[in-house]
């Protein structure tokens, strides 16, 4: 089964908006065992949209069109589909009703052109809207099919998940339930992971119905995601396959798995602290507040995180945190920062980061040096030095997750 993708909108060609939609769709198609060979961006021109749609439908079994379903005269996806189907557009009363109602419920005046969105190619099935005004479309063309979804990402995601992916999977004749699980890892390169999981990957590559597909998704300073996707006749059977292979993989690389699915390093660290009934304060130098900035992105962080001190100037380290005079990119200074912030902010755990983001070296330490200090609730002290990339932004972002992972590992060991 092959499904190509057309993203419609002149703003995409002009680079005013980056087409993330077809990437998201491509990822979903792959996870559901459907190939996608060509993905096209085309502007708001009905002849060009129609031509591209014809070309894609000639080659593929299905085409997803994204965007161009709005109310203005630039929204031409409906017209192009009708042309390719060889049918007229008809006014759909139910869709019109839903649009009028949506505006009424929000107390907003409806411009008449909104009813353009109730135009539907003859023979098409409407995917009702749940979030916006433009409905989606399922348009059969012989044994093939054209889908149309709005270009607004959250509206598109919702319709893809609710209506289009299930329809595609049904047409592909594969087992009908697809489930996936993501293992979040930190501390190993993609090639390193590949090497360690060599035997597991080889086993997955041999034929067999009860085997998931495995993909590595690099997500920069978020680490590498290992995604397992299983297809099975039932959700329970798919989950059983996932559980079995998750265990296999954890048997090899459990040391670097910090979470699953929607877990983030910060959510995992906050949960661990909560479980251990601990509170946290952070002293940051090189990261300048990014660690607490990231922790506080988790709703409810305030139950655990008391706060932090950004001691960017050296004498703030001396005066506010009580670090003893001298060089500040040292393990001694890192430990004194952790002790100081723990005392000043009255937390049970104190974490600190000092280092060199550049452009110049400092205290004889090269750019890319990170030192993490930690005092735990039982008073035990831990410190470690890391060598990170030397690009300023990368170094700082890697420092954040490196320090949080250091804290996570020490909490797990308690």
Q: Which residues bind a second copy (CB under 8 A)?
A: 12-20, 22-28, 30, 36-43, 45, 48, 52, 55, 215, 217-218, 282, 284, 287-293, 295-297, 299, 301-302, 305-313, 315-316, 319-320, 344-346, 358-359, 392-393, 396
Alpha helices in 173-224 (DSSP H): 190-196, 198-205
| DSSP state letter for 229 | E
Cα separation, 380 vs 377, whole angstroms: 7
Give least dist CB 76 to a second copy, A. 14
Give least dist CB 97 to a second copy, A. 29
How far is C-alpha 250 from the geometric centre of its chain's CA atoms? Answer: 22
Give least dist CB 266 to a second copy, A. 11
Which of 123/288 has CB closer to a second copy?
288
Cα separation, 33 vs 375, whole angstroms: 48
Give least dist CB 410 to a second copy, A. 22
Q: Are 335 and 321 in contact (CB under 8 A)?
A: no
- Within 10 Å of residue 380's Cβ, how many Cβ atoms? 11
Which of 118/160 has CB closer to a second copy?
160
**Nearest Cα to 49, choosing from 7, 111, 103?**
7
Which of 362/405 has CB closer to a second copy?
362
Give least dist CB 365 to a second copy, A. 15
Give least dist CB 334 to a second copy, A. 16
Cα separation, 120 vs 139, whole angstroms: 10
Which of 252/301 has CB closer to a second copy?
301
- The residues with which 127 forms a beta bridge, in sequence order, are 136
Contacts of 411 (CB under 8 A, 6+ apart): 269, 272, 273, 276, 278, 376
Which of 39/119 has CB closer to a second copy?
39
Which of 118/226 has CB closer to a second copy?
226
Which of 173/359 has CB closer to a second copy?
359
User: What is the token pair recorded at 228?
Assistant: 């397992």
Q: E strand or H helix at 162, and its extent? A: none
**Which residue matches tokens 């419920």?**
105
Give least dist CB 91 to a second copy, A. 29
Give least dist CB 229 to a second copy, A. 12
User: What is the token pair recorded at 134?
Assistant: 């433009």
Give least dist CB 155 to a second copy, A. 16
Which of 118/345 has CB closer to a second copy?
345
| DSSP state letter for 113 | G
The gap between the terminal CA atoms of the chain, to the nearest Å, is: 51
Q: Are 36 and 56 in contact (CB under 8 A)?
A: no
- Within 10 Å of residue 373's Cβ, how many Cβ atoms? 28
Cα–Cα–Cα angle for 379, 384, 388, rounded to 5 degrees:
145
Which of 15/208 has CB closer to a second copy?
15
Contacts of 278 (CB under 8 A, 6+ apart): 304, 347, 348, 349, 376, 377, 411
User: What is the token pair recorded at 91?
Assistant: 């006014």
Q: E strand or H helix at 260, and its extent? A: strand 257-260
Alpha-carbon radius of gyration of the chain = 27
Give least dist CB 180 to a second copy, A. 14
Which of 126/217 has CB closer to a second copy?
217
């Amino acid at each position: 089964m092959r499904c190509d993708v057309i993203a419609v909108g002149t703003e995409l060609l002009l680079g005013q908006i980056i087409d993330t939609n077809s990437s998201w769709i491509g990822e979903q198609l792959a996870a559901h065992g459907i190939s996608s060979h060509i993905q096209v961006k085309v502007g708001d021109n009905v002849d060009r949209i129609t031509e591209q749609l014809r070309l894609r439908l000639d080659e593929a079994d299905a085409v997803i069109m994204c965007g161009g379903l709005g109310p203005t005269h630039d929204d031409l996806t409906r017209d192009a589909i009708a042309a390719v189907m060889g049918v007229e557009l008809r006014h759909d009363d139910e869709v019109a009703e839903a649009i009028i109602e949506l505006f009424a419920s929000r107390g907003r005046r409806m411009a008449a052109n909104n009813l353009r969105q109730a135009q539907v190619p003859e023979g098409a099935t409407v995917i009702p809207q749940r979030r916006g005004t433009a409905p989606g479309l399922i348009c059969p063309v012989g044994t093939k099919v054209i889908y149309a979804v709005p270009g607004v990402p959250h509206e598109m995601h919702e319709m893809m998940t609710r209506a289009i992916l299930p329809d595609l999977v049904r047409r592909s004749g594969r087992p009908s339930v697809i489930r996936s699980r993501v293992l979040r890892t930190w501390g190993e390169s993609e090639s390193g992971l590949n090497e360690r999981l060599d035997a597991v990957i080889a086993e997955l590559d041999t034929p067999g119905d009860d085997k998931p597909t495995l993909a590595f998704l690099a997500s920069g300073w978020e680490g590498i995601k290992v995604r397992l996707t299983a297809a099975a006749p039932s959700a329970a059977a798919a989950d059983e396959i996932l559980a079995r292979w998750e265990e296999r993989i954890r048997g090899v690389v459990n040391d670097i798995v910090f979470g699953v699915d929607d877990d983030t390093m910060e959510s995992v660290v906050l949960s661990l602290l909560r479980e251990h009934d601990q509170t946290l304060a952070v002293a940051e130098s090189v990261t300048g507040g990014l660690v607490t900035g990231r922790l506080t992105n988790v709703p409810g962080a305030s139950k655990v995180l008391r706060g932090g001190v950004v001691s960017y100037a050296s004498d703030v380290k001396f005066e506010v945190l009580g670090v003893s005079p001298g060089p500040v990119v040292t393990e001694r200074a890192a430990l004194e920062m952790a002790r100081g912030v723990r005392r000043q902010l009255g937390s049970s755990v104190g974490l600190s980061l000092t280092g060199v983001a550049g452009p110049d070296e400092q205290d004889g330490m090269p750019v890319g040096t990170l030192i993490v200090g930690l005092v735990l609730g039982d008073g035990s002290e831990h410190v470690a030095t890391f060598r990170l990339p030397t690009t300023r932004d990368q170094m700082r972002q890697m420092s954040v997750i490196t320090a949080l992972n250091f804290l996570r590992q020490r909490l797990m060991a308690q």
